Amino acid sequence: MIKKIGIVLVLLLVAQVLQAQQAAVNDNAPAATKIYLKSGKVVEGDIVSYDAVSVVIKDPSLGLMTIPRENILRIDPPLEEKKEPVAPPVVVQAQNEFTKAFQAGKKLYDDGEYKEAALKFRQALTLANEKGEIVETYFYLSLSYYGLGESDNAQLYLNKMFEVQPEREINERLFPSGYIILFYRTKSELAKPQPAKLEEKPKEEAKAEEKKAELEKKAKEEEKKEPVAPPVVVQAPFIAPPAATTENTLSMAVVRFGYFLASDSAFKPIYGNGPVFGGELRLGGRQITGWLEGNYRARTGASSIMKEETKVNVLAIEGGALYKIMSGKIMPYVGAGLGYYMYAETSEAFGEAKKSNIGFCVLGGASMRVLKGLVLDGRIKYSTSSMQPADFKVNVGGLTFGLGLGLGF
């Protein structure tokens, strides 16, 4: 019995010693940190690391957790904050601000809010630092203004974009066909070689040449003692018979055919150059003659967007005055006038586009009477007339080389 009591007492003594050691360990261990969140929850555990942006804590049950500072109400016990927290780099902040503004603008554009999208893209442009950011912002600014119907502003930002990245391309399936035409038209215009500037002569050299020309002119005038009148004016009333009067005028009816060279840089790659046909009526006196002409040309081509077959027809009615330079079997002349140009373009992809407008033309040529009453006429004419059949502009004018066969009056 005494032996059993002794064993019990030894066991109780050992238990008290172990309990005292555990209490000492607990007293020396650091207290757990409690993080009180704004949502009302409390996270308790050991702090692993922390900075000015977030705190990393090890929760006994959940493991490592990273908690943003903006979600923390308070920390117990408080952490020893660094005296000089390092702020995020300014460039990173600017990039984040650019991304926010650009994505907001893109969403507005996708929703059809083009005016608000343009404002947001202009804000993004002030935050852009890299070449790619600037190019994309110019591109979507151009798209936004195109959506507003402001083609001039759309082309302005396309010009700015191509100045930064001339090789920029476009996915033709994702954007309106009219905008794609504007895109390629702007790109082709900027790709044209710019004319070299002429070097200006020094002022002293220019004055010397001018003085020399004046002296030579005076010398020639002094050599001419008796001015000679033009032979045609003097002899015509006496030598030319009445029937020859009609033969020395430009009055005639002419059937024409020629070859047309387009001047529009976007029109030419699609339709190229081609023949033109027409007729002309001239009525007038010996020196000044009025003329009226109608001509027609038609071409078939493939669009640069979807390679769909497109057809174009241009009907022109032109009229003006001709000045005969000299009389004889060959009568050279120059002239100018106005024209009314009717443009029609059709394709399965884009439908039909029509437009008419007034333009002007200048011309020069020569008429030769090969037989009595039969006239052969050769002529070069330049015309210009700009119009906007749809959401693109086109100049229907160009250079025409033509021959004509007519009957003189």
Angstrom distance (rounded) from CA 205 to CA 339:
44
Quick: pLDDT tens for 369-395.
888 789 999 999 999 999 888 777 889
Angstrom distance (rounded) from CA 163 to CA 185:
15
Tokens of 232: 């045609």
Specify whether domain 30-79 bears CATH 2.30.30.100: yes
Angstrom distance (rounded) from CA 385 to CA 383:
7
Angstrom distance (rounded) from CA 335 to CA 106:
55
Specify whether domain 244-408 bears CATH 2.40.160.20: yes
Q: Which residues pair with 35 in a beta bridge?
A: 43, 75
| Residues 375 and 340: beta-carbon distance below 8 Å | no
Domain assignments of the chain as residue spans, ordered by start = 30-79, 90-190, 244-408
| Residues 361 and 292: beta-carbon distance below 8 Å | no
Kind and range of the H or E element at 161?
helix 151-164
Kind and range of the H or E element at 18?
helix 2-28
For the domain 90-190, what is the CATH code? Answer: 1.25.40.10
Helix (H, G, I), strand (E, B) or coil at 183: helix
Quick: pLDDT tens for 218-259.
777 776 655 555 555 445 454 444 444 456 778 889 999 899
Helix (H, G, I), strand (E, B) or coil at 260: strand
User: In b/e form, how buried is each residue of 176-209, taking b as 16+ CB within 10 angstroms?
Assistant: ebbbbbbbbbbbeeeeeeeeeeeeeeeeeeeeee
pTM: 0.41
First and final C-alpha spacing in the chain: 161
Q: What is the DSSP string of 25-87?
A: HHHHSPPPEEEEETTS-EEEEEEEEE-SSEEEEEETTTEEEEEEGGGEEEEESPP---SSPPP
Q: Rounded to whole angstroms, what are the CA distances from 52 to 92, 323, 350? A: 16, 88, 59
Residues making up the chain, counted from first to last: 409
Return the pLDDT at 205.
66
In terms of DSSP H, where are the helices of 240-394?
242-247, 267-271
Tokens of 254: 């002419």
Q: What is the DSSP string of 86-122?
A: PPPPHHHHHHHHHHHHHHHHHHHHHTT-HHHHHHHHH
Quick: pLDDT tens for 63-83.
778 888 888 989 988 987 655
Quick: pLDDT tens for 86-110.
455 544 565 689 999 999 999 999 9
DSSP 199: P
Angstrom distance (rounded) from CA 274 to CA 269:
12
Quick: pLDDT tens for 334-376.
999 999 999 988 877 667 888 999 999 999 999 988 887 899 9
Q: Which residue has the higher pLDDT, 4 or 166?
A: 166
How many helices (H) and strands (E) are present in the chain, helices listed first? 10, 15
